[in-house]
């Protein structure tokens, strides 16, 4: 009787298994470097030729192997890392499956040279296509050298899908960078086509090694993070927001020294940065988590890149909190502060600002250098296409006069000590309203502005459920929304900051869209609500402000805890120094 089911030959099985472990040269480098680190190496050298297609050689000074162990090491499922199922719950090594060497040997010509130092000579094995072709003594010190030649030569379908030599080299480089970040006690050297491209000494500090890997300029202003809660430890190096990049390639995550990819941890990191990151940008960051091996499952994928946590929500929230606190502690100081007027800001009664606290007044300085004007009443001058409204602002708390100009109803311009201050009126007002909304969400509920005629909102079932879910937060910020039958709701009151907007229904629905898109679970919901409201309630780019509103806007901005950026990460202002202005005019 014929059968449709049959057992695959060992050679085919080996090549299939190799496909799970070896995707490209970088996969080979990763496995061999991790083996070297597990062997206690203090020095690891990697040599490549043609991006790793023709040659990958990894040399280490670890504990090495004797001849018997070397023969076992090229067999499948041979390992020194575990001996029983229970060992998987306390793994502290990189490798444990015993698949790396036999999988690599199945798709290449592999030479293994090793010695444990117990006898004068070591051993050398040659393996081709998964079959041991030869064994001989080799004179060498303790350690291991693995030489991989002609990767995928016996699997041409795999070899033709490799990218260019330079592309494959970049993947290898990232692998080496991750290994170097995870083991600061070990030295690394990388050589490609005879040219040394990376050299790192052993026993470096995290910042010192990161500066070599990423450059001192990229690490300028980077913040060190260290946090500990019970059995969870977090160490990190957080790049300054100004060093943010367009891709997430500079984000490096580690769990118990193992480089990983994890959406939850990435989300925690980005949420911790919050509005410090411009939209679509990613930080340069290295984050190291130390957890009990029993609370993390690293046996999810053959490449061991993915992990699962027993308490993922707890770990994510700790990442958010620790990143946010570290950045706030280091970057929260105000680089600029302005003198403020006594009493209420001019637009206090119009819902655009709140009374400045005594602390804000006490913290304000005389940044504004007084610009005395000859025209006490101000005037309008045209200078090379700029319409400048030279308005003299009287300050009861100052003996001198300060001028603030406007440019095309977009930017506010003022003379300050040592230069010129330029403020983006929309971004600045976003920051002001964002912090007000956050204060209301975390403190006393907002005073509501009752609508003369309630707005009926015809919501979808999803929007209706969303309003019910975040109802308490909407109420705290100043919304009053009541059921009106079916999925219709009546908007009866709005936050005072929307009073001047006149688009209450549009703003409310847009807020629901933002929450539906970004989610309402976990940390950061209050920030999402505050950022959405601030964006839509802030004065528009091109909206005309009268002289008192301009001055109050600047006063309010520099009373904020983080006046440098808007909730979306854009700068609220810039300063042109006299030196920069002189350079522009070739003085």
480 occurs within a structural domain: yes
DSSP element (H, E) containing 190 = strand 187-192
- pLDDT computed for residue 363 by the predictor: 32
Q: What confidence score (pLDDT) does residue 339 get?
A: 33
Position 366 pLDDT exceeds 80? no
Same structural domain for residues 151 and 252?
A: no
> Is 167 found in the same domain as 43?
yes
Judged against a pLDDT cut of 90, whether residue 252 lies above it is answered with yes
Confirm whether 341 is domain-assigned.
Answer: no
Where is mean pLDDT largest: 71-80, 206-215, 441-450?
206-215
Please, which pLDDT band fits residue 73 given cuts at 50, 70 and 90?
confident
Torsion 516-519-521-524 (CA) sign? negative
Residues ≥6 apart with Cβ < 8 Å to 257: 94, 182, 183, 288
- Measured between alpha carbons, how far is 73 from 32 in angstroms, rounded to an integer? 12
Q: What is the structure's pLDDT at 10?
A: 61
Residue 206: closest CA among 219, 221, 191: 219
- Give the residue with greater pLDDT, 347 vs 416: 416
Query: Domain check: are 192 and 64 in the same one?
Result: yes
Q: What is the DSSP string of 471-496?
A: HHHHHHHT-EEEE-STTEEEEEEE-G
- If asked whether residues 156 and 225 sit together in one domain, one would say no
User: Does any domain span residue 4?
Assistant: no
Average pLDDT (116-124) is 89
**Based on the domain organization, do 401 and 472 belong to the same domain?**
no
Asked if the structure places residue 547 within a domain, the reply is yes
Chain position carrying tokens 């067999």: 75
Handedness of CA 243, 249, 251, 257 (dihedral sign): negative
The whole-number pLDDT of residue 33 equals 95
Give the mean pLDDT of 451-473: 81
Residue 55 to residue 67: CA distance in whole angstroms: 24
Q: Are residues 527 and 578 in the same domain?
A: no
Q: Is 586 helix (H, G, I), strand (E, B) or coil?
A: coil
pLDDT of residue 11: 61
Are 37 and 162 found together in one domain? yes
| CATH code of the domain containing 115 | 3.30.565.10
Residue 343 lies in a domain: no
Q: Which range has the worst mean pLDDT, 334-348, 487-501, 523-537?
A: 334-348
> At a CB cut-off of 8 Å and minimum separation 6, what does 240 contact?
220, 221, 222, 223, 331
- Return d(Cα 129, Cα 11) in angstroms, integer: 8
Per the structure block, which two tokens stand in for 300? 């999810």
* Domains in the chain, number: 4
How many whole angstroms separate alpha carbon 417 and alpha carbon 437?
Answer: 32
Q: pLDDT grade, residue 357 (50/70/90)? A: very low
Q: How many other C-beta atoms are found inside a 10 Å radius of the C-beta of residue 34?
A: 22
Kindly tell me if the per-residue pLDDT of 378 is higher than 90.
no
Which of 48-62, 159-173, 270-284, 493-507 has the highest mean predicted lDDT (pLDDT)? 48-62
Rounded-to-integer distance, Cα 65 and Cα 179, Å: 22
Let me know if residue 67 belongs to a domain: yes
**Phi and psi of 507, rounded to 5°?**
-65, -40
Mean pLDDT of the chain: 76
The answer on 484 and 412 residing in a single domain is no
Residue at 288 is within a domain: yes
187: pLDDT strictly greater than 90? yes
- Residue 387 has what DSSP assignment? E
Under the banding of pLDDT at 50, 70 and 90, the label for residue 44 is very high
Phi-psi domain of 578 (left: phi exceeds 0; alpha: psi -120 through 50; beta: other): alpha
Higher pLDDT, 339 or 244: 244
Least confident residue range of 378-382, 457-461, 476-480: 378-382
Q: Are residues 414 and 554 in the same domain?
A: yes
Q: Which of 151, 176, 200 is the last residue of a domain?
A: 200
The model's pLDDT over 403-433, given as tens digits with 9 standing for 90+, comes to 566 666 778 888 777 788 888 888 888 898 8
Instruction: Grade residue 383 by pLDDT with cuts at 50, 70 and 90.
Output: very low
Residue 374 has pLDDT above 80, yes or no: no
Looking at residue 531, its pLDDT comes to: 82
Report whether 187 contacts 290 (CB < 8 A). Answer: no
Which of 167, 200, 233 is the last residue in one of the domains?
200
Residue 72: band (very low, low, confident or very high) from pLDDT cuts 50, 70, 90? confident
- Asked whether residue 446 falls in the same domain as residue 568, the answer is no
Are 99 and 141 part of one and the same domain?
yes
Q: What is the mean pLDDT of residues 440-449?
A: 72
User: Is residue 261, in this structure, part of any structural domain at all?
Assistant: yes
Flag whether pLDDT at 229 surpasses 70.
yes
Closest-CA residue to 15 (of 104, 77, 87):
104
Q: What is the pLDDT of residue 43?
A: 96
pLDDT at 50: 94
Whether the Cβ atoms of residue 112 and residue 127 lie closer than 8 Å to each other? yes
Whole-angstrom Cα distance, residue 521 to residue 269? 16
Question: What is the share, in percent, of the chain residues with pLDDT greater than 90?
Answer: 23
- 3-state class (DSSP) for residue 218: coil
Q: Is 86 helix (H, G, I), strand (E, B) or coil?
A: helix
Question: Span 436-451, mean pLDDT?
Answer: 76
Task: Say what the pLDDT of residue 469 is.
Answer: 78
- The domain in which residue 531 lies consists of 431-537
Torsion of CA 514, 520, 524, 526, to 10 degrees: 70
Of the three residues 200, 221, 247, the one that is the final residue of a domain is 200
318 and 453 share one domain? no
Of 76-80, 322-326, 451-455, least confident by mean pLDDT is: 76-80
Structural element, H or E, at residue 200 = strand 195-200
* Sign of the C-alpha dihedral computed for residues 156, 161, 164 and 169 taken in this order: negative
Mean pLDDT calculated for residue range 258-272: 89
Task: Output the pLDDT for position 391.
Answer: 24
Assess contact for 18 and 103: CB atoms under 8 A: yes
* Res 530 pLDDT > 70: yes
- Report the range of poorest mean pLDDT among 149-158, 262-271, 325-334, 467-476: 325-334
| pLDDT value at 533 more than 50 | yes
What is the pLDDT, as a whole number, of residue 446? 64
Instruction: Check residue 353 and give its pLDDT.
Output: 29
- Which residues fall within 8 angstroms of residue 430, CB to CB, at 6 or more apart? 534, 535, 538, 566, 567, 568, 572
Once rounded to an integer, what is the mean pLDDT over residues 520-534?
A: 73
Separation of alpha carbons 524 and 320, rounded Å: 9
DSSP codes, 126-184: EEETTEEEEEEEE---SEEEEEEESTTTT-HHHHTT---HHHHHHHHHHHHHHHHHH-T
């Amino acid at each position: 009787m014929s059968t449709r089911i049959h057992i695959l030959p060992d050679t085919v099985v080996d090549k299939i298994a190799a496909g799970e472990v070896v995707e490209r040269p970088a996969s080979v480098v990763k496995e061999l470097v991790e083996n070297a680190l597990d062997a206690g190496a203090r020095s690891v050298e990697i040599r490549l030729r043609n991006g790793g297609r023709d040659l990958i050689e990894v040399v280490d000074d670890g504990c090495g192997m004797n001849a018997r162990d070397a023969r076992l090491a090229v067999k499948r499922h041979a390992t020194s890392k575990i001996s029983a199922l229970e060992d998987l719950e306390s793994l502290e090594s990189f490798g444990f499956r015993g698949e790396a060497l036999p999988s690599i040997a199945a798709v290449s010509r592999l030479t293994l040279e090793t010695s444990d130092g117990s006898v004068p000579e070591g051993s050398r094995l040659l393996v081709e296509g998964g079959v041991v072709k030869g064994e001989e003594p080799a004179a060498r010190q303790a350690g291991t050298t693995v030489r991989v030649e002609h990767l995928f030569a016996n699997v041409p379908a795999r070899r033709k899908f490799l990218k260019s030599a330079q592309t494959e080299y970049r993947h290898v480089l990232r692998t080496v960078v991750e290994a170097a970040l995870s083991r600061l006690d070990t030295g690394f050297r990388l050589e490609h086509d005879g040219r040394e491209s990376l050299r790192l000494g052993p026993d470096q500090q995290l910042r010192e090694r990161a500066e070599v890997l990423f450059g001192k300029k990229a690490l300028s202003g980077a913040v060190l993070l260290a946090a500990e809660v019970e059995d969870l430890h977090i160490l990190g190096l957080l790049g300054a927001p100004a060093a943010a990049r367009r891709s997430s390639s500079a984000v490096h995550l580690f769990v118990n020294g193992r480089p990983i990819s994890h959406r939850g941890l990435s989300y925690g990191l980005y949420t911790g940065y919050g509005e410090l990151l411009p939209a679509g940008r990613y930080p340069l960051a290295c984050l190291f988590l130390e957890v009990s091996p029993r609370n993390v499952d690293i046996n999810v994928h053959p490449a061991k890149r993915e992990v699962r946590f027993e308490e993922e929500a707890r770990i994510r929230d700790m990442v958010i909190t620790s990143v946010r606190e570290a950045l706030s502690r280091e970057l929260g100081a105000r680089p600029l502060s302005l003198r403020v007027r006594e009493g209420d800001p001019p637009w206090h009664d119009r819902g655009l600002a709140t009374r400045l606290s005594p602390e804000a007044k006490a913290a304000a300085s005389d940044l504004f250098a007084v610009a005395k004007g000859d025209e006490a009443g101000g005037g309008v001058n045209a200078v090379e296409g700029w319409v400048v409204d030279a308005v003299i602002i009287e300050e009861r708390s100052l003996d001198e006069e300060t001028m603030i100009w406007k440019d095309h109803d977009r930017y506010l311009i003022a003379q300050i000590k040592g230069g010129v201050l330029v403020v983006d009126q929309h971004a600045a007002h976003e920051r002001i309203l964002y912090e007000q909304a956050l204060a209301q969400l975390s403190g006393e509920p907002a005073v509501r502005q009752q609508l003369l005629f309630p707005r009926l909102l015809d919501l979808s079932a999803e929007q209706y459920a969303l309003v019910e879910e975040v109802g308490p937060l909407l109420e705290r910020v100043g919304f009053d929304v009541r059921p009106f039958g079916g999925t219709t709701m009546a908007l009866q009151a709005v936050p005072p900051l929307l009073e001047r907007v006149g688009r209450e229904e549009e703003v409310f629905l847009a807020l629901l869209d933002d929450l539906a898109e970004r989610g309402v679970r976990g940390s950061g919901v209050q920030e999402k609500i505050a950022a959405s409201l601030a964006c839509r309630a802030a004065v528009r780019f091109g909206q005309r402000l009268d002289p008192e509103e301009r001055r109050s806007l600047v006063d309010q901005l520099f009373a904020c805890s983080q006046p440098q950026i808007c909730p979306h990460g854009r700068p609220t202002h810039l300063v042109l120094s006299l030196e920069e202005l002189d350079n522009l005019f070739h003085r």
